[in-house]
Structure 1
Amino acid sequence: MSEIIKTSHLTKTYQQQHAVDQLHLTVNQGDIYGFLGRNGAGKTTTIRMLLGLIKPTSGRIEIFGENFFKHQKDILRRIGSIVEVPGFYENLTAKENLSINAKIMGVHKRNALEEALEIVDLQHETKKLVGQYSLGMKQRLGIARALLHYPELLILDEPTNGLDPIGIKEMRNMIQTLARERNITIFVSSHILSEIEQLADHIGMIHEGKLLEEISFQQMKERNRKYLEFQVSNDHKAAMILEKHFGIVDYVVHLGGNIRIYSHVGQQGKINQALVEHGIEVFKIMINEDRLEDYFTKLVGGGAIG
């Protein structure tokens, strides 16, 4: 499988502070690559460097196997992108806006505008002015503009920002369709864990400018384990019982009297009985599985994303 994006030691420094620090990314052909990190982690700075909007302080970028700095103009012809909220002439229709962009981009293929609008399901909005569009419709029109020249790589910076749940689902379905049916490699950044979890084949996690890990979604699922979770009245005493009576050592005590047990799944009845017999109230028993949020939290050492 060929590498579409590859960075080495990619760094961007502002006034001696690293916005991006020694970044090593690899995005393979045909993948949906989820670039995950908190706001301010360095996602947009990375994307701006990949698109030539800002120059790196140091490091190397290869796209389509070519040195980006030597072949930037040719490479960018093969990339579509949305960075932040796409801007349009609000007193024009979608097709009129795309027509202007097609001329600027040198797109002359017949029916290119109609095809792009059909892909994003805006083909019937022929008379409505863009100023009357919802944010979700504007985001879809931004995708249409990015697809006008039939790119091989699509780079999207927080494409679901500000969208309602229906808009988020539509955007997710569209991205998956573009990857699967049109074989477009997609690099999408987000701070929304649940979206990346439902969308990406591979995930790169960035924190304070540093890449913490690159991992396939399948590998992440294999690493994450099922666990029993007990909410109890006395977690300290409960932990002692787990160790003494069941030999359980693979557990974690969380705030609020919650204990996660990563072994003995299926023995929750016996554990519950022992806890109750020793005078511990059990308020809740659940069987769960670590999700991307748990995995990310472990990597960054705690704290919420967002």
Structure 2
Amino acid sequence: MIEAPQFFPYLSAAENLYYYCIQRGIPDKACIPEALKQVELDYTGNKKFRQFSLGMKQRLGLALAVLAKPDFLILDEPINGLDPEGIAKVRKLLLFLSREKQTTILISSHILSELSQIATWYGFLHNGKLLKEESAEQVWQNCQNRLVLKVDDVPRAAAVLEQLGCRDFEVGENNTIELTEQQDNASTINQTLLKNGVLVKEMHSAGKDVETYFLELIGGSADV
């Protein structure tokens, strides 16, 4: 389905789908009311396409896409320009198709915050190149909350953390250390560092969303 699906403006939703059934050689016209019900447009009756809201037009495009009950569906920006209600309806439909109809769906979208609610696998593209492929679980792990410490002596702090059993941490800029484990033991970590002569100047939790993660992959910044 393309980003902005086009239909005959003076035809109803059902009439437009009937035309495409003929064009595509779909013999069973019973798929029309079924498709309209799936996208919650079965109430529109004789209302013409030109009178549809943007969300309704997008959902009619989805109805056309699922008309022949495909096993594989490719969607380009299916929620672009939609209001929160329209986005929620499209999300509900995509989850239904994936979980109940076992439809594999490939979505091209720049709205990463919304994809994080439905995607099971990510492919990050930049300048026409595939940078990385990861499961949703892997992306979540890379975005999970971290305990950020700013200390006066990074090498000594790293040694103390290893003695505490911390293995998953990274040294960042400006004397910072990020831990993705033992966040519940922040107080113990702080006290142990102080006892070993390490001054903890700052300590806070930090996480990132999928958009920030993508910007890091391409070498950008979330502040631009």
Give the TM-score normalised by structure 1: 0.60
Partner of 2:81: 162
User: Which residue identity is paired with 1:261?
Assistant: E
Query: Separation in 1 of the partners of 2:124 and 2:216?
Result: 12
Query: Separation in 2 of the partners of 1:220 and 1:279?
Result: 30
Deviation of 1:197 after TM superposition, in Å, equals 1.2
- The question of whether the paired residues in 2 share the 8 Å contact of 1:205 and 1:213 is answered with yes
SS in structure 1 at match of 2:82? coil
Higher-strand-fraction structure: 1
SS in structure 2 at match of 1:136? helix
SS in structure 2 at match of 1:106? coil
Deviation of 1:261 after TM superposition, in Å, equals 2.3
CA offset digits 1:45-64 (Å, max 9, x no partner)? xxxxxxxxxxxxxxxxxxxx
Partner of 1:139: 58
- The question of whether the paired residues in 1 share the 8 Å contact of 2:21 and 2:29 is answered with no
Query: Separation in 1 of the partners of 2:200 and 2:18?
Result: 74
Deviation of 1:173 after TM superposition, in Å, equals 1.2
> Of 92, 96, 100, which residue of structure 2 is paired with 1:173?
92
Query: Separation in 2 of the partners of 1:245 and 1:152?
Result: 53
User: Identity of aligned pairs, percent?
Assistant: 36
- The question of whether the paired residues in 2 share the 8 Å contact of 1:226 and 1:289 is answered with yes
CA offset digits 1:104-151 (Å, max 9, x no partner)? 111120412111101111111102221111111100000111122221
- The question of whether the paired residues in 2 share the 8 Å contact of 1:227 and 1:262 is answered with yes
Q: Runs of 5+ in structure 2 lacking a partner?
A: 162-168
- 1 or 2 for the larger relative contact order (CA 8 Å, sep ≥6)? 1
The aligned runs of 1:1-306 (5 Å cut-off) are 82-229=1-148, 238-241=150-153, 244=156, 247=160, 250-253=170-173, 261-262=178-179, 265-269=183-187, 271=190, 286-304=204-222
Query: Separation in 1 of the partners of 2:116 and 2:30?
Result: 35
Q: Report how many aligned residue pairs link the two structures.
A: 210
Deviation of 1:304 after TM superposition, in Å, equals 4.7
* Distance of aligned partners of 1:240 and 1:219 in 2 relative to their CA distance in 1, 3 Å threshold: same
User: Which residue identity is paired with 1:111?
Assistant: A
Query: Separation in 1 of the partners of 2:118 and 2:3?
Result: 19
Alpha carbon RMSD of aligned pairs, Å? 3.0
Query: Separation in 1 of the partners of 2:125 and 2:213?
Result: 13
User: Which residue identity is paired with 1:262?
Assistant: L
Deviation of 1:294 after TM superposition, in Å, equals 3.7
Query: Separation in 2 of the partners of 1:245 and 1:92?
Result: 70
SS in structure 2 at match of 1:211? strand
SS in structure 1 at match of 2:117? helix
Query: Separation in 2 of the partners of 1:183 and 1:287?
Result: 38
Query: Separation in 1 of the partners of 2:137 and 2:185?
Result: 27
* Distance of aligned partners of 1:134 and 1:253 in 2 relative to their CA distance in 1, 3 Å threshold: farther
* Distance of aligned partners of 1:250 and 1:148 in 2 relative to their CA distance in 1, 3 Å threshold: closer
Partner of 2:164: none
* Distance of aligned partners of 1:267 and 1:183 in 2 relative to their CA distance in 1, 3 Å threshold: closer
Give the TM-score normalised by structure 2: 0.80
